[in-house]
Amino acid sequence: MTNATNTYIGSSLDDFLKDEGLREEAYSIAIKRTLAMQIEQARLEQDMSKSEMARRMKTSASQLSRLFDPDNDRIQLDTLMKAAAALDLSLEFRLVPKQAA
């Protein structure tokens, strides 16, 4: 495509996602995947097996596997909190003002 026909030349990915109505979904997936990677990294650093982590969370190994599945973006907040607690971590969220466009 040439610059004359492509309205997104020079714009940011954030602008494109917003214009297409995909921004919130993309951010949600990115946040979930980031948290899952951080939880997995902490598990590995603590040398904790997945079965031990599942036991501490009082869940099944298959349920825990869903947490680490990058294609599964339907992880509930309580699952993330249980995973953090199993690793002696806390999960923190905060609201911040939107940045001006």
Cα separation, 66 vs 46, in Å, equals 20
pTM equals 0.74
**Contact present, 67 and 39 (Cβ < 8 Å):** yes
Q: For the chain, list the domains and their CATH numbers.
A: 13-86 (1.10.260.40)
Each residue's pLDDT expressed in tens, for the chain with a length of 101 residues: 445 565 556 567 767 777 777 778 788 888 888 999 999 999 999 999 999 999 999 999 988 999 988 788 788 889 999 999 999 999 988 888 987 65
